[in-house]
Structure 1
Amino acid sequence: MSTTLNVLRRHLLGFYQSKRSLFHWINLQFNVVDENRRNSFGPDRICAEWILRNGGTVKWVNSNEILSDYNELPKEGTMLQLQVIDASNSSIMHNGFAHFKGCNYITKVVFHKCNYLEDRAFEELHYLKKSLLFLQISSCPNISEKGLMHLHVLTKVRELIMFDLPSVKNKNNIVHILKSSLPQCYIKY
């Protein structure tokens, strides 16, 4: 009986791992930057497409509406600027962060329960250093001190909220480092 259970367990584990690999590959593809679309429709449009395609929400400058449905994007050619990105529970990944390039009006970004985010994603946040005022990073299991160290370039950020980051082992140290490099920023951890 135990041999049969072991065979079944190995079979199910192999099935799960192959499905996980497939989903990982699909998520990678949903995060790739299409430079032709960026050149044709602008960085804000393709960044919004990226966030919405992966399950997040966006808000445009001079709008109170929060957009969560990819199919409700304004028609192509409409020039709007992104102001707020909420990537909560989304499948965004590091290779998608290049979408931020050229987005000059984003003032607020929330990364909450972004299970696919890894430290190297935050290397690309420098694209937002001239506009970002508020940043939240919470319940992202793969973000550690190594990733948070990249936040020092965000010198315009006035509020940084962090919590439930299980890979951060020494939160007092990272808060001290960030407070030193971002003296104008309110940091809550």
Structure 2
Amino acid sequence: MLFGKVSWQLCGLKKLPWSCDSRYFWGWLNTVFNKVDYERIRDVGPDRAASEWLLRCGAMVRYHGYDRWHKNYNNLPTGSLDKYKIQAIDATNACIMSMGFDHMDGLEHVEKMRLCKCHYIEDDCLQKIGQLEKLQKSLLEMEIISCGNITDKGVIALSNLRNLKYLLLSDLPGVKEKENLVQAFKTALPSLELKLDLK
């Protein structure tokens, strides 16, 4: 009897317009995907844990010594965990958000990173990237495209990436002080190739 009553109540929910709760639902789900499990990082290492986080959130990873991009969470490589070190990250249309960026702490081999149409990316995400000592050494190329919540404050934090050789900034409406950014990067990273396509 109880089952029938619950089923009837759930059927009644179908009458509600889905759109009224969909933003809340997806926001909740994305928060779940970004939650950091520090025990998991300890057990499998930072590269495997970060791979799982990135793929859960819709990004892709490429490992050092491999040409293929991994985008399916269920097809992550098996075997020795020390064998697969993240070399490149493509977070196009990914739901990565600030709370998940602790997964990047400990990554030592990331050379390329692309953040494109990441609606949850904010300044504190870039500040986190700029503060991570291992990424400061390894990151060589970065692209940030169509991330509407990024401002000058976040971009300037990337000047801490002391080995950065290439930086593309495109379609970032929150970035206003173009000339100041150019000057700051020239001072901090004189060999950087900086490409700006800002309106």
> Shared topology, TM-score over 0.5?
yes
Letter of the aligned partner of 2:69 in structure 1?
Answer: I
> Is contact 1:90–1:113 with CA below 8 Å preserved after alignment?
yes
Aligned residue for 2:121, secondary structure, equals: coil
CA distance in 1, matches of 2:150, 2:108: 25
Percent identity over paired residues: 37
Letter of the aligned partner of 1:19 in structure 2?
Answer: S
CA deviation string 1:112-143 (max 9, x = no partner): 11111111111210321110000111111110
Give the number of equivalent residue pairs.
177
Q: CA deviation at 1:17?
A: 5.6
Structure whose CA Rg is larger: 2
Aligned partner of 2:12 in structure 1 is: none
> Is contact 1:143–1:165 with CA below 8 Å preserved after alignment?
yes
Letter of the aligned partner of 1:30 in structure 2?
Answer: F
Aligned residue for 1:59, secondary structure, equals: strand
CA distance in 1, matches of 2:79, 2:37: 15
Matched, 1:183 2:170: no
Cα gap change, 1:17/1:180 in structure 2, threshold over 3 Å: closer, same or farther?
Answer: farther
Matched, 1:22 2:25: yes
CA distance in 2, matches of 1:16, 1:186: 44
Matched, 1:54 2:61: no
Residue among 87, 106, 111 paired with 1:107:
111
Aligned partner of 2:90 in structure 1 is: 86
Aligned partner of 1:162 in structure 2 is: 169
CA distance in 2, matches of 1:87, 1:76: 25
Aligned residue for 1:20, secondary structure, equals: helix
Q: CA deviation at 1:144?
A: 0.6
Letter of the aligned partner of 2:28 in structure 1?
Answer: W
Matched, 1:75 2:78: yes
Matched, 1:36 2:43: no
CA deviation string 1:77-111 (max 9, x = no partner): 53211100000111110111111111100000000
Cα gap change, 1:23/1:185 in structure 2, threshold over 3 Å: closer, same or farther?
Answer: same
Deviates more, 1:164-173 or 1:65-74: 164-173
Alignment of 1:111-122 (within 5 A): 111-122=115-126
Q: CA deviation at 1:25?
A: 2.1
Q: For structure 1, which runs of at least 5 residues remain unmatched after alignment?
A: 1-10
- Extract structure 1 runs of 4+ deviating beyond 3 A: 15-18
Aligned residue for 1:130, secondary structure, equals: helix
Cα gap change, 1:172/1:19 in structure 2, threshold over 3 Å: closer, same or farther?
Answer: same
Q: CA deviation at 1:172?
A: 2.2
CA distance in 2, matches of 1:110, 1:124: 15
Q: For structure 2, which runs of at least 5 residues remain unmatched after alignment?
A: 1-15
Q: CA deviation at 1:76?
A: 6.2
CA distance in 2, matches of 1:96, 1:140: 17
